[in-house]
Amino acid sequence: MTDYDVLAEVYEWLISEAKLPPAEFAASFDDVLRLLPSNAHVLDCSCGTGQLAVGLAGRGIQVVATDASEAMVRRTAALSEEFGTSIRAVQANWEELPDHFEDDTFDMVFCVGNSLHHAAGATGRGAALESMSRLLRPGGRLVLTSRTWELVRARGSRLDISDRLVRRNGRDAVVVYRWEIAPHWEDEHHIEIAIAQVDATGSVLVRSELLSCWPYRYEELEADLHRVGLRTEVSTFDRDAENYMVVAGKTATS
Ligand SMILES: C[S@@+](CC[C@H](N)C(=O)[O-])C[C@H]1O[C@@H](n2cnc3c(N)ncnc32)[C@H](O)[C@@H]1O
């Protein structure tokens, strides 16, 4: 069992309601999707439960979806079937991607929704980004979204409990994040996520996982991208905002 295999069962409680429909998830990237050529090939390399991949496939884009978690890949394949799209869904962690796909294959690679911090430290992050860059054709783009770790670390270790019940599939749950912030940026940090579903009789069913993560400063991410031949074209980084997006293009010579 890998990380996220348990959370995969209950992942809809962690996605905002607005982004649950695949078409809406894809629409949140309209600005970058405009940059794609016709007949585009796109990889979502941390596909989770597949909303983005299925939303892209629904637009006629050829989509491959990968994830380290087998349970996530199964959910993506099931969502694709439910929406009648054809997606190739493959279990692969970032470092394994070049074993599955040729270099210079994709017009766009997505690594979104707070995924990259799961790469183990600077070395793991560099290897993950190297794989993503290899698979992009020259001129192709990596689209990455991230938490603003500058903010997360400044708040320190803490417990975040949702202030409302979150209702999905007719069931209510309390969502809890426990943040374990280590003394130094480069140390392994932890996030424990618990989804406590409460039924009408008052019974509580809890699914939880302790996840490892290795935060990075925005400047470090930019330098990492540069090292693997990716140049930042768009960045929404703002140290006071919770999340940001970076779009980085693969230079023709890398
Ligand atoms: C926070 S979820 C985001 C899922 C999805 N992109 C979304 O926005 O809903 C992080 C995802 O990254 C995947 N992941 C974690 N480590 C990974 C690795 N080393 N290689 C590939 N995927 C990984 C997890 O299995 C999980 O599905």
Is pLDDT above 70 for 220? yes
- Looking at the fold, whether 200 and 86 belong to one and the same domain comes out as no
The CA 147 to ligand 1 mean position distance, Å, reads 13
Residue located nearest, by CA, to atom 26 of ligand 1 = 48
Mean per-residue pLDDT for 229-242?
97
Number of domains in the chain: 2
**Residue 72 in tokens:** 């996530």
Tell whether 62 is covered by a domain: yes
- Looking at the fold, whether 11 and 130 belong to one and the same domain comes out as yes
By the 10 Å C-beta count (0-12 exposed, 13-18 middle, 19+ buried), 87 is classed as buried
Residue located nearest, by CA, to atom 23 of ligand 1 = 68
- Domain with residue 208: its CATH number is 2.20.25
The model's pLDDT over 5-40, given as tens digits with 9 standing for 90+, comes to 999 999 999 999 999 999 999 999 999 999 999 999
The CA 1 to ligand 1 mean position distance, Å, reads 14
Mean per-residue pLDDT for 154-160?
97
Tell whether 59 is covered by a domain: yes
- pLDDT value at position 60? 95
3-state SS class at 159? strand
Q: Which helix (H) or strand (E) holds 230?
A: strand 230-235
The model's pLDDT over 162-205, given as tens digits with 9 standing for 90+, comes to 999 999 999 999 999 999 999 999 999 999 999 999 999 999 99
- Looking at the fold, whether 141 and 156 belong to one and the same domain comes out as no
The model's pLDDT over 88-135, given as tens digits with 9 standing for 90+, comes to 999 999 999 999 999 999 999 999 999 999 999 999 999 999 999 999
Contact 136/231 with Cβ under 8 angstroms? no
- Looking at the fold, whether 86 and 129 belong to one and the same domain comes out as yes
**Residue 166 in tokens:** 């979150």
- Looking at the fold, whether 161 and 208 belong to one and the same domain comes out as yes
- Looking at the fold, whether 131 and 172 belong to one and the same domain comes out as no
Tell whether 1 is covered by a domain: no
The model's pLDDT over 55-99, given as tens digits with 9 standing for 90+, comes to 999 999 999 999 999 999 999 999 999 999 999 999 999 999 999
Ligand 1 atom nearest to 145, measured from its CA = 8
Ligand 1-lining residues (CB < 6 angstroms): 3-4, 15, 46, 48, 67-69, 72, 93-94, 112-115, 118-119
Please provide the DSSP assignment of 72-124 as one string. HHHHHHHHHHHTT---EEEE--GGGHHHHS-TT-EEEEEE-SS-GGGS-HHHH
121-135 vs 218-227: helix axis angle to the nearest 10? 50
- Looking at the fold, whether 157 and 205 belong to one and the same domain comes out as yes
3-state SS class at 215? coil
Is pLDDT above 60 for 237? yes
pTM of the model: 0.97
Residue located nearest, by CA, to atom 27 of ligand 1 = 48
CA–CA separation, 46 and 95 (whole Å)? 12
Could you tell me which of 98, 82, 90, 83 has the C-alpha nearest to residue 47? 90
Mean per-residue pLDDT for 36-57?
97
Mean per-residue pLDDT for 211-236?
98
Could you tell me which of 45, 37, 34 has the C-alpha nearest to residue 135? 45
Other Cβ atoms less than 10 A from the Cβ of 202: the count is 6
Could you tell me which of 25, 13, 228, 20 has the C-alpha nearest to residue 131? 228
The CA 48 to ligand 1 mean position distance, Å, reads 6
Q: How confident is the model at residue 1 (pLDDT cuts 50, 70, 90)?
A: low
Q: Among 3, 10, 99, 118, which residue has the most ligand 1 atoms within 8 Å of its CB, making it the best to mutate? A: 118
- pLDDT value at position 2? 82
Q: How confident is the model at residue 254 (pLDDT cuts 50, 70, 90)?
A: low
- Domain with residue 116: its CATH number is 3.40.50.150
- Residues 28/73/137/234 CA torsion (nearest 10 deg): 30
Domain region containing 196: 150-213
Ligand 1 atom nearest to 25, measured from its CA = 8
3-state SS class at 134? helix
- Looking at the fold, whether 17 and 96 belong to one and the same domain comes out as yes
- Looking at the fold, whether 93 and 113 belong to one and the same domain comes out as yes
Q: Among 13, 47, 112, 115, which residue has the most ligand 1 atoms within 8 Å of its CB, making it the best to mutate? A: 115
- Looking at the fold, whether 69 and 125 belong to one and the same domain comes out as yes
Tell whether 2 is covered by a domain: no
- Looking at the fold, whether 21 and 91 belong to one and the same domain comes out as yes
- pLDDT value at position 204? 96
- Looking at the fold, whether 19 and 70 belong to one and the same domain comes out as yes
